[in-house]
Chains A and B, each alone.
Chain A
Amino acid sequence: MKKAVESSGTGKKFGATQALKDISFVVNEGEIFGFIGPDGAGKTTLFRIITTLLLPDEGEMKVLGLDCRSGYKELRKNIGYMPGRFSLYQDLSVEENLHFYATVFGTTVEENYDLISGIYSHIEPFKKRLAGRLSGGMKQKLALSCALIHKPALLVLDEPTTGVDAVSRSEFWEMLKKLKPYNITIIVSTPYMDEAMKCDRVALIQDGQILSVDQPEKVRDGFSRKLFSVKAPEKYKLITALRSYPGISTAYPFGDAVHVTFKDDDFDDALYDYLDRMGITDVKITGTRAGIEDRFLELMGSKV
């Protein structure tokens, strides 16, 4: 399989701050590759290096087979980039934005319309509207259309779903899936763990370092302990009580439950008694499968 991006030992410093440290990964051609990590993990910096906007201080970065330092002119013709802040001209209409980006990349809207039609058709009814007056979800779709209009070999999306409603978010991922037949490699970053499941492969990134790279399912399987889900009506009381219980290893809130691991990997009735004494009733404890977030927290914990 051909490699779209190949990074070995990439590092970047801003003054005294080490933004990226020894980043190594490979993105295969045609896959959706996700970078999952909290704000400030270094995702944007990494994406700017991939898109030739920044130079790495150390290491090798090859994008589409070209070196990111020397090959930037050629690369810039073949990358579609959607920065974290949608880079649309607020005072131009939807249509004008799209045509502008098409012209700048040396193509026309008509030429690649089939590629974006699935996305653009959602906003086409508003094509005369100024981009500044669009809703978050529509801005996101327009920005994606603009990034795709020149049929790039590599599409780089920096937190495309941040600040967008839940419906638009899932629509957005559907659209990315539909791009599969065009063999466009997609690199996407997100702080939302649930979106990780929709990628072909993900890299967990934290404090400028990659913790793990694998398929989402395998990342989940990487969880090394037995995990339990604890539920009770008063969640806040429950979590504080659990954290002060001596047999508990970790307790993190997860949706309407608390995900818990124990020091000796299992629990006994003493826990029920303890919670009862603390005034917590209706407690349900079941074994559960670890999610990406659980694995992420485990990796973070082991690093400290």
Chain B
Amino acid sequence: MKRFLGFVKKEFLHIFRDVRTMIILFGIPAVQILLFGFVVSTDLKNARVAFLDLSGDEMTQKISDKICSSGFFRRGENLLNSNDIDRVLRGNKIKAVIVYEKDFGRKLISEGRAAVSIIADGSEPNMATLTTNYLTAIIADFNRELAGRSAAKTLLVQPEVRMFYNPSLKGQFMFVPGVITLIMILICALMTSITITREKEFGTMEVLLVSPLKPLQIILGKVLPYFLLSFVDVIMILLLSWFVFGLPIKGSLLLLLAESMLYIFMSLSLGILISTAAKNMQQAIFISLVGMLLPAVLLSGFIFPIENMPKIYGWVSAVLPPRYFITIIKNIMIKGTGFLYVWKETLILMIFTLVFIGLSMKNFKIRLQ
């Protein structure tokens, strides 16, 4: 036990002495959270829209004013004919064009319906969806006001879009679970695999092997510091997102922390497995980054929904542990569901962990090759 503690102490010294390690451990998570939260926001704010008003009456004026005073949109050009639509959209500044048909106001009063079309720039699918959703919602709101005044009959169809779980569609809420998931796999898998291969590369592993330390002691000694520090990281990310973005944790905090521990443990065992396979640090970094981080970013459902992927990618993503953790953490944090809803994913993570540990123990060499 004394041997083991001595080893752990040495690992902590390595970590605290290396500026780069400290940056990766604590700098990157903080920067990531703030970056994703502020910059890569998917919220609409002051998006420019252009108007093509073929009617030019009181009603269309009212709708346009309502759109532009919403805070989401800003008034761009007023177009004169439909040929201009293509031109302004190509200009990239205008995100959508709103076209009122001829005699809009008159038709609305006499026939009870009038047409307004929203033409959005489809080259940015995310933006287009957001824009059209927001615009539809604003017009629907206008309908309600109108209906309230001329109480007699409903004038227009009233489409209602309501967002579940994230009513104002705040982007950060979606990113926090993703960032936790990625950071953990980055720190745990990458860092542990590097620290073990570093011993091989510097030749210190030779002496460790000739010492009475058991393989399990070496592995656990490597893992324990990172386990503790990663857990500190999770807490740091949660605190940051709570204080800076006001992210609520709807479900049980205890469950969330417990699941995070499981995930950290899983990532660590993956890191060990990588290190037993890699001959040097470069290989370890390559396997961790290209083999793990990239697929984790692209295929885990963090950025692109798994449902929309071609089937084959869906299958690939099924063997990526981050996918399950993202589901778990989103469920707990945003939907506020309990363990009953995530037990399947939890079980899968446990199985991953056991498999990784088993393989590493089998792969760990008590001798050189």
On whether the two chains bind one another, the answer is yes
- The one of A73, A81, A96 in contact with B207, judged by C-beta atoms closer than 8 angstroms, is A81
Binds B, one of A50-58, A161-169, A225-233, A279-287: A50-58
Cα–Cα, bound, A85→B368 (Å): 15
* Residue of B with least CB distance to A85: B203
* Residue of A with least CB distance to B15: A91
Task: Report if A92 contacts B (CB, 8 A).
Answer: yes
Q: Chain B residues with Cβ under 8 A from A88's Cβ?
A: 204
- The one of A72, A77, A81, A89 in contact with B14, judged by C-beta atoms closer than 8 angstroms, is A89
Contact call B210/A52, Cβ cutoff below 8 A: yes
Enumerate B12-27 residues with CB–CB distance to A below 8 Å. 13-14, 17-18
- The one of B3, B203, B367, B368 in contact with A104, judged by C-beta atoms closer than 8 angstroms, is B3
Q: Mark B17-46, 1 if CB is under 8 A from A, else 0.
A: 110000000000000000000000000000
A18 to chain B, nearest CB (A): 17
Cα–Cα, bound, A149→B10 (Å): 17
Enumerate B176-225 residues with CB–CB distance to A below 8 Å. 202-204, 206-213
Contact call A87/B14, Cβ cutoff below 8 A: no
Point out which of A85, A90, A103 has the most chain B C-beta atoms below 10 A from its C-beta: A103
Contact call B203/A106, Cβ cutoff below 8 A: no
Q: Chain A residues with Cβ under 8 A from B208's Cβ?
A: 104
Contact call B203/A83, Cβ cutoff below 8 A: yes
Q: Chain A residues with Cβ under 8 A from B367's Cβ?
A: 52-55
Q: Chain A residues with Cβ under 8 A from B204's Cβ?
A: 87-89
- The one of A53, A55, A91, A96 in contact with B206, judged by C-beta atoms closer than 8 angstroms, is A53
Q: Chain A residues with Cβ under 8 A from B368's Cβ?
A: 48, 53-54
Q: Chain B residues with Cβ under 8 A from A90's Cβ?
A: 202
Cα–Cα, bound, A287→B9 (Å): 62
Task: Report if B6 contacts A (CB, 8 A).
Answer: yes
Cα–Cα, bound, A227→B191 (Å): 61
Task: Report if B7 contacts A (CB, 8 A).
Answer: yes
Q: Chain B residues with Cβ under 8 A from A146's Cβ?
A: 207
B30 to chain A, nearest CB (A): 24
Task: Report if B2 contacts A (CB, 8 A).
Answer: yes
Task: Report if A64 contacts B (CB, 8 A).
Answer: no
Contact call A81/B3, Cβ cutoff below 8 A: no
* Residue of B with least CB distance to A130: B17
A104 to chain B, nearest CB (A): 5
Contact call B213/A91, Cβ cutoff below 8 A: no
Cα–Cα, bound, A104→B2 (Å): 8
A142 to chain B, nearest CB (A): 13
Given known pairs A85-B202, A89-B204, the reply for A104 and B18 (CB within 8 Å) is no
Task: Report if A79 contacts B (CB, 8 A).
Answer: yes
Cα–Cα, bound, A84→B368 (Å): 15
Task: Report if A105 contacts B (CB, 8 A).
Answer: yes
Q: Chain B residues with Cβ under 8 A from A106's Cβ?
A: 2-3, 212
Task: Report if A76 contacts B (CB, 8 A).
Answer: yes
* Residue of A with least CB distance to B7: A104
Given known pairs A48-B368, A54-B368, A87-B204, the reply for A96 and B211 (CB within 8 Å) is no
Given known pairs A52-B367, A54-B367, A92-B13, the reply for A104 and B211 (CB within 8 Å) is yes
Cα–Cα, bound, A48→B207 (Å): 11
B209 to chain A, nearest CB (A): 6
- The one of A51, A91, A99, A100 in contact with B210, judged by C-beta atoms closer than 8 angstroms, is A51
B269 to chain A, nearest CB (A): 23
A51 to chain B, nearest CB (A): 5
Enumerate A274-296 residues with CB–CB distance to B below 8 Å. none
B75 to chain A, nearest CB (A): 60
Given known pairs A76-B211, A100-B6, A106-B2, the reply for A81 and B13 (CB within 8 Å) is no
Cα–Cα, bound, A101→B212 (Å): 11
Contact call A91/B18, Cβ cutoff below 8 A: yes
A201 to chain B, nearest CB (A): 24
Enumerate A27-59 residues with CB–CB distance to B below 8 Å. 48, 51-55
Given known pairs A76-B211, A76-B212, A106-B212, the reply for A92 and B10 (CB within 8 Å) is yes
Q: Chain B residues with Cβ under 8 A from A99's Cβ?
A: 6
* Residue of A with least CB distance to B368: A53
Contact call B210/A79, Cβ cutoff below 8 A: yes
A-binding residues in B (CB < 8 A):
2-3, 5-7, 9-10, 13-14, 17-18, 202-204, 206-213, 366-368
A-B contact pairs, 9 of them (CB 8 A): A48-B368, A53-B367, A54-B368, A96-B13, A100-B7, A100-B9, A103-B7, A104-B6, A104-B211
